[in-house]
Amino acid sequence: MAPPLSRRTLLRSAMIAAAASGLTGTGTAGASAAPAAWSLLPLPLDKVSLGPGLFADKRQLMLDHARGYDVNRLVQVFRANAGLSTRGAVAPGGWEGLDGEANGNLRGHYTGHFLTMLAQAYASTGDAVYAEKIRTIVAALHDSREALRRAPQVLSVPGKFGTAAENVRGSYQYVELPAQLLGGAPAITLAAWIRPTHDGSWARVFDFGDDTTRYLYLTARNASGVPRFAITTSGAGGEQGINGTAALPLDQWSHLAVTIGGGVGTLYVNGQAVGRNPGMTLTPAALGTLTHHWLGRSNYSGDPVFAGAYDGFDVWSRALTAAEITGLQSRKGSGDLASYGFDETSGGTFADSSGRGLTATLRRTWGAPSHAGFLAAYPETQFIQLESMTASDYSKVWAPYYTAHKILRGLLDAYLATGDARALDLASGMADWMHARLSKLPAATLQRMWGLFSSGEFGGIVEALCDLHDLTGKAEHLALARLFDLDRLIDACAANTDVLDGLHANQHIPIFTGYLRLYDATGERRYLDAARNFWDMVVPHRMYAVGGTSNAEFWRARDVVAGVISGASAETCCAYNMLKLSRALFLHAQEPKYMDYYERALFNQVLGSKRDAPDAEKPLVTYFLGLDPGHVRDYTPKQGTTCCEGTGLESATKYQDTVYFVAADGGALYVNLFSPSTLEWSGKGVTVTQSTGFPFEQGTTLTVRGDARFELRVRVPAWATAGFRVRVNGQAVSGSPVPGSYFAVARDWRDGDVVRVDTPFRMRAERTPDEPSVQAVFYGPLNLAARSASTSYLPVSLYRNAALSGDLVSSFTAVDGKPLHFSLGGVEFAPFFEGTEDPTHVYVRRAEPWVVFGGVDSGVANPVKTNGSSLLDEVWAGAPFADRAALVARVRTVVASWVAGGLLGASDGDAVVATAQRAVYVS
């Protein structure tokens, strides 16, 4: 259990929670300490509680997943890397194990995500089960770091004959034997008791040699899966070898022995000769003095380290007889050249009982960390190799600083949620270690590193380091944050030069949230300008209807949307990070476009990326949404534990973090989202409860408890063009709400005051910029996706019964018993936020072949310009219309323009106007 926190530390924790992550805290402690550049403050998660509804239902699925998941599985890779017992835990699949993509070079990242999710779950619910899981993870990470700081220590386990030493898979540990081991013997026997725990090929039981030219080795499994012994003085092509006949069983003790004498080599398994080579002319004497004498490690650097346990290794200066080999099956050996029983239960060395005093030493293949603060689930070599890379190769180095960010962020969030001082110590140590490495590198090296796709990706580490600096006050931590400046990108975006075409999307989105925090810390304007301009390059120019961005993880040219729709569109991580950036920008400047985007991406992509089903093993979150026609969302991508599943853990446990903000001066409350929730505003001594079924209800009700004066600022969404209205205690509030703004109500609020906000929905279609006929259907804030197994764009006509307001809902038929479901032409349209496995069409093909008004067909073909925009598109772009006369006037103007441009015949133009005049419209 961590020691109690001082009041100063608690206040600083609350400050960071409110000002950076919105995780937890004591309500108002952060208000005076927030960055001066912020005109708004977020509310900690424990000050905003979710009420029953869509968000609470989605969150509960993730809370249940978190509650039941064994977090020892997450830290298995950390414990293994440190050479500690993994306690029988099995690492998660996918990217979190040694057998995952790129050999698991991203392992550890998911633990960071999970820590953040648990911190948010604890802050939101107060349920101690989440805090206990946090403590379990933090304790394991602490133990792992401490183990990495010191030389490897023996891991003692039950053996075949008492005690054995285990080499945990993923530990990169091996045993180094003294150089005089073989003694130039012309005949020899080498024998070992082993219990392999993995079936990887070419892991060595032993390997004695100089390099890949002169050596002798024994592997438990060759490429065919059977044991092999070989000796050579001329590399692989000159090997004299002996192969076994059957694979060794995993997790069972087996005895292997090799004898060489009189030109004959024999391989024994469990006392039985399984292979013989009568032409074995090479002996240890022929190899001369060798440099390396290793148990578990190969002279070929690409071979895996042996995973399993040793209960004896012996070397004799003669070839034992078959009977003698059989006798070794009931006891440990007693070699005259070397004899190791592996009976040690502590320390990092193994005694030799042969009488020669050849003490063996436990080593790591990669040596020791460069700094005591190092913490990772893989060796530091990932970071070291990156420093000399000039081209990307994620199979060798896969975003080590990205992984470091996730761990660092998770530790910060764990500290802020629980006050466990070990978490802050681990986070601070990681930053100290990174600063020790990166501060020594030339600026040109850093710029090259951060510009490498994938290998140089560092996620949101700048934001996390700025938050850490606010907690520790260490100048090195802020200096470290600035070492991640990618100058060419910052400078281009600050100058509003769009350079995004061809860039990896999620490699770059989160770094701008960090640059905003650097602006807060340093006042350097280029960081702020770059972040603002970058956002405008993505929204709406590279944004899909559901709020997502990227295709196959990359951006393409500005305003190309329809042209990049595929099954790999809209990576979920991108939406997560665009939400964070939008939120951060809004805290600096209250431009409603940021919250309009936030609502779009939250209600559509983020909610729609989570499957509406429980699962104990996986979070069920998409990687790519996939927006091609008839796409079926994949909620178990890449066998689990991808970056997007990690951010999905976080998204689903912080749905309330942006519902409300308060002005830094305490004078206003911003209602950004319509969501059932209760805000505890300690600074004002009031609570505000939002009661709503939104989006199933087209409006919300806010009830104030307590007395206070402040201005209530309610967002008027850009889509709210159908009569947005605000009433206080039943009385209409004067003023004209403008879509895409905030509507303010300033008053002395009294206990029990009720504010009713009406937000009528309209049905509309949004066109893609590069292909106007490819469109998405929206009802209020919600994308309505067509459900059809067709893999071609569905042709859809919507203008036939359009209302004077421009509302297209009259073209649809509501589906009985299924709120927010509609049908059109026999096809059902449903909210994309429903996490189903139905084939969906976010985009449809607008097909308006004839000019029709109010159900009356003019008999005139709907002409289309070369850019794909039709006459009807141009007419209805003028909606809403006050009355039929206004519509007809619009029709006359558009028709005249098209006739003048030679796009429509005069007689056809007259027919179009006449049809508009006689048609009957709904309002």
Per-residue pLDDT, 18: 44
The torsion region of residue 173 among left (phi > 0), alpha (psi -120 to 50) and beta comes to beta
792 is written with which tokens?
């071609």
Q: In whole numbers, what is the pLDDT of the chain averaged over residues?
A: 94
pLDDT at 737 over 90: yes
Percent of the chain with pLDDT over 90: 93
Give the Cα separation of 83 and 103 in Å (integer).
18
Backbone angles phi, psi at 236, to 5 degrees: -60, -35
What does DSSP say about strands 708-716 and 668-671: parallel, antiparallel, or unpaired?
parallel
Give the Cα separation of 801 and 799 in Å (integer).
6
506 is written with which tokens?
């999620």
User: Residues 222-245: pLDDT tens digits?
Assistant: 999 999 999 999 999 999 999 999
User: Could you tell me which residue, 763 or 24, shows the higher pLDDT?
Assistant: 763
Per-residue pLDDT, 20: 39
589 is written with which tokens?
């400047």
User: Could you tell me which residue, 399 or 104, shows the higher pLDDT?
Assistant: 399
User: Residues 677-733: pLDDT tens digits?
Assistant: 999 999 999 999 999 999 999 999 999 999 999 999 999 999 999 899 999 999 999
How many Cα neighbours within 13 Å face the side chain of 486? 25
Per-residue pLDDT, 100: 85
Q: Do residues 562 and 843 lie in contact, with contact meaning Cβ atoms separated by under 8 Å?
A: yes
Query: Which domains occur in the chain, in start order?
Result: 7-144+371-651 (1.50.10), 156-364 (2.60.120.200), 660-758 (2.60.40), 761-847 (no CATH), 852-923 (no CATH)
Say how many C-beta atoms besides its own lie within 10 A of residue 905's C-beta: 13
User: Residues 159-208: pLDDT tens digits?
Assistant: 999 999 999 999 999 999 999 999 888 999 999 999 999 999 999 999 99
DSSP assigned state of 477: H
Per-residue pLDDT, 183: 86
Give the Cα separation of 729 and 15 in Å (integer).
36
pLDDT at 270 over 50: yes
pLDDT at 370 over 50: yes
Give the Cα separation of 373 and 368 in Å (integer).
12
Which residues are bridge partners to 191 per DSSP?
257, 314
Task: Out of 28-42, 119-133, 550-564, pick the least confident.
Answer: 28-42
Across the range 286-296, mean pLDDT stands at 95
* Of residues 558, 585, 560, 580, the one with CA closest to residue 509: 580
Q: Do residues 258 and 267 lie in contact, with contact meaning Cβ atoms separated by under 8 Å?
A: yes
Per-residue pLDDT, 639: 83
pLDDT at 10 over 60: no
Confidence label for 834 from pLDDT (cuts 50, 70 and 90): very high
Per-residue pLDDT, 21: 38
Confidence label for 923 from pLDDT (cuts 50, 70 and 90): confident
Per-residue pLDDT, 2: 38
Backbone angles phi, psi at 561, to 5 degrees: -115, -60
pLDDT at 53 over 70: yes
Percent of the chain with pLDDT over 70: 96
Confidence label for 33 from pLDDT (cuts 50, 70 and 90): low
Q: Which residues contact 523 (CB under 8 A, 6 or more apart)?
A: none
Per-residue pLDDT, 640: 87
Per-residue pLDDT, 868: 84
Per-residue pLDDT, 783: 98
Across the range 844-871, mean pLDDT stands at 94
Find tokens 């050479």 and name the residue: 83
pLDDT at 28 over 90: no
| CA torsion through residues 739, 742, 748, 754, sign | positive
Bond from prior residue into 880 cis (ω within 30 degrees of 0):
yes
Per-residue pLDDT, 575: 98
* Of residues 632, 629, 641, 591, the one with CA closest to residue 608: 632
Q: Which residues contact 150 (CB under 8 A, 6 or more apart)?
A: none
Per-residue pLDDT, 428: 98
775 is written with which tokens?
């469109």
User: Residues 312-324: pLDDT tens digits?
Assistant: 999 999 999 999 9
Across the range 419-434, mean pLDDT stands at 98
> Position 880: which residue type?
P
Confidence label for 123 from pLDDT (cuts 50, 70 and 90): very high
The whole-model pTM stands at: 0.94
| CA torsion through residues 769, 774, 777, 781, sign | negative
Give the Cα separation of 677 and 56 in Å (integer).
10
pLDDT at 572 over 60: yes
* Of residues 358, 310, 354, 357, the one with CA closest to residue 334: 354
Per-residue pLDDT, 23: 35
Confidence label for 869 from pLDDT (cuts 50, 70 and 90): confident
